[in-house]
Amino acid sequence: EAGVTQSPTHLIKTRGQQVTLRCSPISGHTSVYWYQQALGLGLQFLLWYDEGEERNRGNFPPRFSGRQFPNYSSELNVNALELEDSALYLCASSLVRWSGVSTDTQYFGPGTRLTVL
C-alpha cells in the first residue's frame, strides 16, 4: 500500500512569489494535515482538512491556505512568499470519522523543502 506522497520534493522561489504544494493521502484516509518545520522552530501545525472541509488552522497568516479535493488529496498554497517561509512542509494523513477529535495515527509524507531567496 502506497504511503503519503508529496510533490515537489524541493522547490526554490523568490520573495513575493506564490507556491503550491501537493499531498496525496494514504488510500482510504479522509483527513490531511499540513505542518511547517522551519529551521530552529520545530514542527508547527498549519491546517487540517477532513472530508473536503477546513476543520482547523494553526497560528499562520491568511496567505497560507489550501484545499482538499473530492479524492482527499490536498494542496497547500502560500502567497506573497517571505524569507521566513523557507521550511520543510510536511503532510500527514489519518483515518478520521469526524467527531471533533482526532485520535487516529497520523502517517507522514516525505515533505517538500521550500527555499525562499
Partner 1 sequence: KNEVEQSPQNLTAQEGEFITINCSYSVGISALHWLQQHPGGGIVSLFMLSSGKKKHGRLIATINIQEKHSSLHITASHPRDSAVYICAVMYSGGGADGLTFGKGTHLIIQP
Minimum CB–partner distance for residue 14 and partner 1 (Å):
22
107 binds partner 1 per the rule CB under 8 A: yes
As a whole number of Å, the CA-based R_g of the chain is: 13
Say if residues 31 and 44 touch (Cβ distance below 8 Å).
no
Q: Following DSSP, what letter does each residue of 32-52 receive, concatenated? A: EEEEEEETTTEEEEEEEEETT
For residues 1 to 40, the per-residue mask of contacts with partner 1, x marking binding by CB under 8 A and - elsewhere, is: --------------------------------x-x-x---
Which member of 72, 76, 102, 116 binds partner 1 (CB under 8 A)? 102
d(CA 46, CA 55): 11
The burial class, CB within 10 Å (0-12 / 13-18 / 19+), for 44 is: middle
Tell me the C-alpha distance between 63 and 81, whole Å: 9
Stretch in the footprint of partner 1 (CB under 8 A) among 14-22, 54-62, 65-73, 75-83:
54-62
Tell whether residue 81 is a contact of partner 1 (CB under 8 A): no
Minimum distance from residue 31 beta carbon to partner 1 (Å):
10
Q: Which residues bind partner 1 (CB under 8 A)?
A: 33, 35, 37, 42-48, 55-56, 58, 88, 90, 100-108, 110-111, 113
